[in-house]
Amino acid sequence: MRIYLSRPHMSGNEQDRVMEAFASNYIAPLGPQLDAFEETVSSYLGGDVYCVALSSGSAALHLALRIAGVGVSDEVWASSMTFAGGIFPVNYLGASVRFFDLDPASWTIDVGFLAEELKVAAIEDRLPKAIVPTDLYGQSVDLDSLEELASYYGIKLIVDSAESFGASYRGFRKAGTGGDAAVLSFNGNKIITTSGGGMLVTRHKKWAEQARFLATQARDEAAHYEHSTFGYNYRMSNICAAIGLGQMEVLDARVERRRKIFARYREKLSRCGITFMPEPEGRISTRWLTVMTVDPTQVGVSREDIRLGLLKRRIESRPVWKPMHMQPLYTGSPYHGQGTDEKLFENGLCLPSGSDMSDDQQDEVIDQIIQLLGM
């Protein structure tokens, strides 16, 4: 039996929610399930944010960047180690990207490098239009420091929380509530899923209103179709939102299970010379994916040796995100750092972390890694 990296895990109530949508005949994009899903997520995040459910996390980022005023010739500063969908919307708007390295203590954007470059950019009158840090593999960025910097320089902060729904920062803030806006993802491999989809979360009512307007083809108020600007077909379907309602019932349980999976990996494999993604004090990661690193000079095998060895045994694993500044598309883009993300890409591996993985399946993964290490 194949062991997957992270597959959808249903609560058992999703079909009932979908049947409610069918019974009401709200099959089109908008409907009561969509409204309820947005309200449920808002309540989970503290109730003082506005939520707009969309077709993907990338759509949410695209809208947030446009609302922030990003356009041709502007610059956006972002984490280099992230999924491509967390960067491509910058290209949609004709802007360019300046990439930043990770802090080794958190594996999130290095605020020190960011602060240094902001100081220089302010003097040279080339500040970015927006900053987009990524909550990598379920761990919140340093929100306090980033919000302080963004406020000081008057820059919009849009947090890519696609991988961290259910995480917390300093014990009282939920991931997904940071900056001017945050982006959530409900893709099939995330903590919870709507089959596909995402969400824009913001404390600004006007941002939410504008996002809803743009996401529904920017139709002006009129009996006919009137358009004063262009929009997109970005709204989440009511049926997908119904799935999301069933998934929200088990979000905390899914996070708890993934954290337990991480703890078992660390307990069993740390003694073998393997290290894991750190978790700074005050932050609680979802551990969306358990990420290990291996030093081939110490253990005699590489990350790729382990990945291919697991694959032969029908166990799915994956290298960590290839930093964007190393991608052919972004050759020559500015990058600030010391190559922490490059080293993680060379030596980092995401292990099977799905919340539906059994202890026996995890033991099989652990045993196979130990064998591949020759121990």
Per-residue pLDDT tens over the stretch 132-141: 999 999 999 9
pLDDT of residue 129: 98
Mean per-residue pLDDT for 104-109? 98
Domains of the chain as residue ranges with CATH: 14-248 (3.40.640.10), 251-372 (3.90.1150.10)
pLDDT of residue 271: 86
Beta bridge partners of 375: none
Handedness of CA 322, 323, 324, 327 (dihedral sign): negative
pLDDT of residue 50: 98
| Cα–Cα distance, 67 to 88 (Å, whole number) | 16
Mean per-residue pLDDT for 74-92? 98
Q: How confident is the model at residue 345 (pLDDT cuts 50, 70, 90)?
A: very high
Q: How confident is the model at residue 23 (pLDDT cuts 50, 70, 90)?
A: confident
pLDDT of residue 108: 98
| The pLDDT of residue 21 is above 90 | no
pLDDT tens-digit map of 176-226: 999 999 999 999 999 999 999 999 999 999 999 999 999 999 999 988 999
| Cα–Cα distance, 152 to 121 (Å, whole number) | 13
pLDDT of residue 273: 87
| The pLDDT of residue 39 is above 90 | yes
Mean per-residue pLDDT for 9-23? 90
pLDDT of residue 218: 92
In one-letter notation, the amino acid at residue 314 is: R
HEC assignment per residue over the chain: CCECCCCCCCCCCHHHHHHHHHHHCCCCCCCHHHHHHHHHHHHHCCCCCEEEEECCHHHHHHHHHHHCCCCCCCEEEEECCCCHHHCHHHHHCCCEEEEECECCCCCCECHHHHHHHHHHHHHCCCCCCEEECECHHHCCCCHHHHHHHHHHHCCEEEEECCCCCCCEECCCEECCCCCCEEEEECCCCCCCCCCCCEEEEECCHHHHHHHHHHHECCCCCCCCCCCCCCCCECECCHHHHHHHHHHHCCHHHHHHHHHHHHHHHHHHHHHHCEEECCCCCCEECCCCCEEEEECHHHHCCCHHHHHHHHHHCCECCEECCCCHHHCHHHCCCCEECCCHHHHHHHHEEEECCCCCCCHHHHHHHHHHHHHHCCC
* 352 Rama class: left (phi>0) / alpha (psi -120 to 50) / beta: beta
In one-letter notation, the amino acid at residue 303 is: R
Mean pLDDT (the chain) is: 96
The neighbour count for residue 69, using CB atoms within 10 Å, is 11
Structure tokens at 202: 């913001």
Please, are residues 134 and 82 in contact by the beta-carbon 8 Å criterion? yes
Q: How confident is the model at residue 236 (pLDDT cuts 50, 70, 90)?
A: very high
Q: How confident is the model at residue 26 (pLDDT cuts 50, 70, 90)?
A: confident
* 206 Rama class: left (phi>0) / alpha (psi -120 to 50) / beta: alpha
pLDDT tens-digit map of 250-274: 999 999 999 999 999 999 999 888 9
Give the sheet arrangement for strand 348-351, strand by strand. Answer: 274-276, 290-294, 348-351, 318-319
